[in-house]
Structure 1
Amino acid sequence: MILRAKYVIQNDRTFIEDGAVILCGSIIQKVGRYTEIRDLTPTKVIDLGSAVIMPGLINTHTHLELTHHKNLVNHYISFTDWLLQIITKSNSQDNQQINQAISDGIHLTLAGGATTIGNIHSAESGLKKLKYSQIRKVVFLETLGFSPHVFANESARINKRLESLQNDDLFTIAVTPHAPYSTSTKLYRHCTDIAKSKRLNLSTHIAETREEIEFLKHGTGKLTELLNILDIPLDTWTPPKVTPIKYLKEQGVLDIQPLLAHCNYLTNDDIDILAKSGSSVAFCPRSHQYFHHTNHPIARLISAGVNVSIGTDSLASNRSLSMLDELKFLANNYEELSSEMLISLFTINGAKSLKLKGIGKLEKNWQADLIVIGISDDQRPVFEQVCDQNSENLMTIVAGTICYKHKTIEI
């Protein structure tokens, strides 16, 4: 199959006018000008007209099992009140509801232009639905447990789940200790040891709120109150009196170059530590806005050389799971980021964050993960047109398979 369009964006720096991509199974066979490659193979040509073929977007932080939490969780009074609602709602979901939430979330994600996700998964059910879905995914198995007496059971549970799962072309397993206020130091170290020995990616929620910083530095505040409400004892715990990033460094987590979700509140020292460690950050812009956080340090992170990628988080704190919507939001609200930089954040940086090879660019012998974006075609630079509020995802292809097609596209 040959896809032809007015533009082909190969990466964050290179585009081709009157471009085409030859797909051979799940692999890209050739990228170039249509006139130069049209006769290379006797196959069907799909002419997409005034559109852009580009690498699929990569959503590095989402929670598909929370897809049905949209409009179920009241707009928060505080982060901890919101979190308590999430815990209550999640505990009431049965297996069928979880599977349906995942299925619906995948459909919305594909329609929104993502071909790859980093999905946080905590439920006992739903993994089979995830594994056999036609979207590329890194599934971070979530573990949490703050009390010392739950360590044995929780560590055994996560070990058993990891042993029962095998990677395939579209499914990569990983681990995620939830957050410093919900996961003990011992459990963080256990997950880090597992990730190191099995060569797994590790992600964690970190530096997400001011409450988290207060909890780690002083052992006080709303997160302490939440743990008391949940009857989680703190009598044997002593606050480390450091920032969340320094806490991760002390536990050896940063030694394995993890993917750190949010990182909303960072000191300059924190950013230096992240840059030296080679860790990646998953910034969730619209979720960040939902909680009325202060300006995210994304520009400082990028300037320091930290690999930053983008996530949607869940529908419990976002209006959609569309990565194209997320791209438009960033373009509209973070003017210091060029359109070329935005494309990088949503593509190759995401691949690096998830530690996946062969995605994030359109290159020969790379994975055939791509999207087709309809644009206004108003003579502005093509990167700007993709980030424009009027752009629209017309097609999503994962490993050479068309997974989403707009009703206006005829094949």
Structure 2
Amino acid sequence: MKSFRADYVFPVYADPIKNGIVTVDDNGKILSVTNDPSTIPGEIEQLSGVICPGFINTHCHLELSHMKDRIAPGSGLVNFVQEVITMRRNVTADEQEVVNAATAADEIMYNNGIVAVGDISNTDVTASVKKQSKIYYHTFVEAMSFVPERAQAVFDQALQTLDTFRPLSASITPHAPYSVSKELFRLIKKHSDTGKNLISIHNQECEDENKFYRYKLGAFNDLYKFLEIDIEYFKPQARNSIQSIIPLLSNNQDILLVHNTCTNLKDIYFVKRFDKMVNWCFCPNANLYIEKRLPKINLFIDQGFNITLGTDSMASNHTLSILSEMLTIQQHYPQISLERLLQWATINGAKFLGVDDSRGTLEKGKTPGLNLISGLDNLKITPDTKVKRLI
């Protein structure tokens, strides 16, 4: 049994506790959360800072970890996508290099207090890493093809890849509006309507995505030329990408819309009109790395949606730290409190991944992990703020 006392304990499901004490057993299970030391047998370790549950990273690409520092920041999404594709085609990276980089990234996340991850995979190369990890993983196997005739073959391949991640939690998901044909969306929807199949889709990462869907103009035309894809069949939709694809998604699954860099209020209201279980995920450091801009996060607050946080990949970020994502948000949106940010970083992600019975809050009987956040300035995150995993 171990007991930790800090300036504040944030149970997340309840109000912060000043001079709170968290007691756990040898397996990290919460035995009690209190501010009364007389009820605690044995020694209490005194700490400076805030104790909170372990973080949930709902969006990562572990298999891109070997691309760290290989793509220049600020080049825009279309160029970023082309760079990733080119590296996968041409750069000599044997499987062991990819596995070694993924293993190192997994350790970075563990040391940064992350206890569960929603990870995107296009191949099975990270399956061994995840099966040996101390972190809980749900793998989103991406199905990706904008060519209608390839929909069935791509979906069948995704099913095969899915099996390689078992018995870990996994599902098939569309990549993004600009990379998935209606035919492939329909196959994924049919699959999702019949059983448990969490969805995580990249959404509106740049203005060109909306421009392409509205007018069939912009840089995505160059991407399809680069990919040698004939898009003659595609007709302008006269609406933004999210408005075009939301009707193609299942009503039966939780859906994570990731990035949302260019999502506007009309898009949010449009999504609210549909009977979909939509969650929004923000990865601000990746948005700055790729597009040099942030989503209008203030528009999403108090709209009745679950909001989560992600890190994206080492190809589009300098590290994999949920605390760093919270810092970036607080620097640009100082009105967002630490308490709200911790909800986004813990219980909201746990709910989306379906692990809130054991993670996400400091409640008796749970094993959520314990993080110590130190170096706060009046409960504000600063560049000097650090996270240390206690359990």
Give aligned-pair identity as a percent: 26
Segment of structure 1 superposing worse, 279-288 or 123-132 = 123-132
Aligned-partner residue type, residue 311 of structure 1: G
Taking the aligned partners of 1:396 and 1:260, their CA distance within structure 2 comes to 31
Q: Does 1:208 align with 2:202?
A: no
1:198 is paired with a residue of what secondary structure? coil
SS at match of 1:214: helix
Q: CA deviation at 1:76?
A: 4.4
Q: Distance in 1 between matches of 2:119 and 2:172?
A: 10
**2:63 corresponding residue in structure 1:** 65
Pair 1:257–1:20, CA change in 2 (3 A): closer
Show CA shifts across 1:226-284 (max 9, x none).
11111112133333332122122221346633001111222323212334533001111
Deviates more, 1:198-207 or 1:314-323: 314-323
Change (3 A) 1:356 1:305: same
1:80 alignment partner, one of 67, 78, 81: 78
Matched-pair contact (CA < 8 Å) for 2:373–2:385: yes
> Residue 289 of structure 1 aligns with which residue?
288
> Equivalent residue for 1:189?
186
Separation of aligned partners in 1, 2:272 and 2:306: 8
Aligned equivalents of 2:249 and 2:9: distance in 1?
A: 42
Give distance in 2, aligned partners of 1:392 and 1:46: 22
User: Could you give the per-residue CA deviations for residues 27-71 of structure 1, whole angstroms, max 9, x where no partner exists?
Assistant: 3232223624422xx7xx572522432101111111112222222
Residue identity in the other structure for 2:226: I
Distance 1:283 1:49 in 2: 30
1:247 alignment partner, SS class:
helix
Shift of 1:111: 1.9
Q: 1:291 is paired with a residue of what secondary structure? A: helix
Unaligned runs of 5+ in 2: none
In 2, the alpha carbon distance for the partners of 1:281 and 1:247 equals 17
Residues in 2 aligned to 1:26 and 1:174: alpha-carbon distance in whole angstroms = 28
Give the aligned partner of residue 17 of structure 2: 15
Give the aligned partner of residue 137 of structure 1: 137
Counterparts of 1:291 and 1:165, CA distance in 2: 29
Query: Which whole-Å CA distance do the structure 1 matches of 2:232 and 2:80 have between them?
Result: 25
> Cα distance, 1:308 vs. partner?
1.3
Partner of 1:38: 40
* Distance in 1 (alpha carbons) for counterparts of 2:136 and 2:36: 28
Name the counterpart of 1:118: 118
Within 1, Cα distance between the matches of 2:208 and 2:350? 31
1:305-324 correspondence to structure 2 within 5 Å: 305-324=304-323
**TM-score w.r.t. structure 2 length?**
0.90
Task: Answer whether contact 1:54 1:362 (CA < 8 A) is retained.
Answer: yes
Residue aligned with 1:232, SS = coil
Letter in 1 for 2:35: R
* Preserved contact between residue 274 and residue 306 of structure 1 (Cα < 8 Å): no
AA aligned to 2:79 is D
Matched-pair contact (CA < 8 Å) for 1:5–1:51: no
SS in 1 for 2:388: strand
Q: How far did residue 172 of structure 1 move?
A: 1.9
Q: Paired residue for 2:350?
A: 351
Deviates more, 1:117-126 or 1:198-207: 117-126
Q: Which runs of 5+ in 1 are unaligned?
A: 398-411
CA 1:77–1:33: 2 relative to 1, 3 Å: closer
What per-residue deviation string (whole Å, max 9, x for no partner) do you get for residues 172-212 of structure 1? 21222111111111112222222332212111101111111
CA RMSD of aligned residues (A): 2.3
The residue correspondences of 1:219-298 to structure 2 (distance < 5 A) are 219-253=216-250, 256-276=253-273, 277-292=276-291, 294-298=293-297
Q: In structure 2, what is the Cα distance between the partners aligned to 1:328 and 1:10?
A: 20
Q: Distance in 2 between matches of 1:37 and 1:193?
A: 54
Choose 100-109 or 193-202, whichever is displaced more: 193-202
Match of 2:368 in 1: 368
Offset of 1:148 from its aligned partner? 2.2
- Alignment-mate amino acid for residue 180 of structure 1: P
Instruction: Specify the SS of the correspondent of 1:151.
Output: helix
SS of the residue 2:58 aligns to: strand
1:391 and 2:385 correspond: yes
